[in-house]
Amino acid sequence: MARTLVISNRKGGSGKSSTAVNVAAELAAQGQRVLLVDLDTQGHCAVGLGVKPQRDMPTVHGFLAGRHDLRQAVVASNWPGLHLIPADPLFEHGGVGGNEAMLRQALLAEGLLADYDTVVLDTPPSLDGLLINALCAADRVLVPFVPHYLSGEGVRQLARLLFRVASRGLNEQLKVLGFLPVMVDLRIGQHREVNAGLSRQFGAARLLPGIRTDIKVAEAFAVGKPVREHAPGSRAAADYAQVVQALERLWA
């Protein structure tokens, strides 16, 4: 039965999609069967994996709108063991019905949890049915953040939302796996201060090794490859490998 990891932060521009793509690729490189589901209508996961959306192709949003089964939307990437359910950039966020467990139910009923070792869900920053469906389907949440004040506030907003989801009985098993600083430079005082504040609030064990600022991440998206494939010797590739090792230890 697959583990399900949500990548989320209520703050936009916090590195969710780059984290989702590169964590999924790193897990697949270790021999896992990985399904990456892109709930963010920007569709950046397809870009990061070099998947070219076709007109009227099935998507996770098409599934949520009731147009087709979830399994119909699965497409293979160019990397063994890594599959994608892409987003629909034209989907309107209000188009999700009231079933907050729709995604979770489909992952189980359609056998996708049996087919994969890890399901990674990329999410939009907006508080709507897309994010709630993701949180209801998740076992754990990974929270990437850029270490400045507004991103720190986004983390705290998400923490309040996670408590609400759990306390309402929507997903009582939901837990935060870790907080991941991205585009981090510990020579900058504010980066150190924000990291220290989150460490005090949520516990030092939950603050993961950071992803250092590296242009190779943006370059990798531009050529449709995970950074470990585009620039295997880069700082970012090394950092994502270290992060996945830390995630495995925390999840154990």
pLDDT tens sequence across 158-215 = 888 888 888 788 898 889 899 999 987 777 777 777 777 777 777 778 889 899 999 9
Report pLDDT for 226: 98
Report pLDDT for 95: 60
Please choose, from the candidates 3, 1, 2, the residue with its C-alpha nearest in 3D space to the C-alpha of residue 175: 3
Give the DSSP letter of residue 207: B
pLDDT tens sequence across 48-61 = 999 998 888 999 99
Both structure tokens of 192: 């150190």
Q: How many CB atoms lie within 10 A of CB 87?
A: 27
Assign 99 a pLDDT band (cuts: 50, 70, 90).
confident
- Cα distance between residue 195 and residue 89, in whole Å: 33
Contacts of 83 (CB under 8 A, 6+ apart): 33, 34, 35, 36, 74, 75, 76, 77, 116
Are 138 and 161 in contact by the 8 Å Cβ rule? The answer is: no
Both structure tokens of 29: 């490189």
Please choose, from the candidates 63, 71, 18, 74, the residue with its C-alpha nearest in 3D space to the C-alpha of residue 42: 18
Both structure tokens of 66: 């009731």
Question: Three-state SS for 182?
Answer: strand
pLDDT tens sequence across 107-157 = 999 999 999 999 999 999 888 889 999 999 999 999 998 887 676 677 778
Assign 43 a pLDDT band (cuts: 50, 70, 90).
very high
Q: What angle do CA 240, 13, 143 make, to 5 degrees?
A: 50
Assign 106 a pLDDT band (cuts: 50, 70, 90).
very high
Contacts of 155 (CB under 8 A, 6+ apart): 9, 10, 11, 143, 145, 179, 198
pTM for this one? Answer: 0.93
What is the pLDDT of the chain when averaged over all its residues?
90
Q: What is the mean pLDDT of residues 227-235?
A: 97
Report pLDDT for 44: 96
More confident residue, 196 or 34: 34
- Cα distance between residue 136 and residue 160, in whole Å: 15
Both structure tokens of 177: 């796996």
Are 85 and 70 in contact by the 8 Å Cβ rule? The answer is: yes
| Residue 118, strand partner residues | 3, 34
Give the DSSP letter of residue 70: S
- Cα distance between residue 62 and residue 73, in whole Å: 8
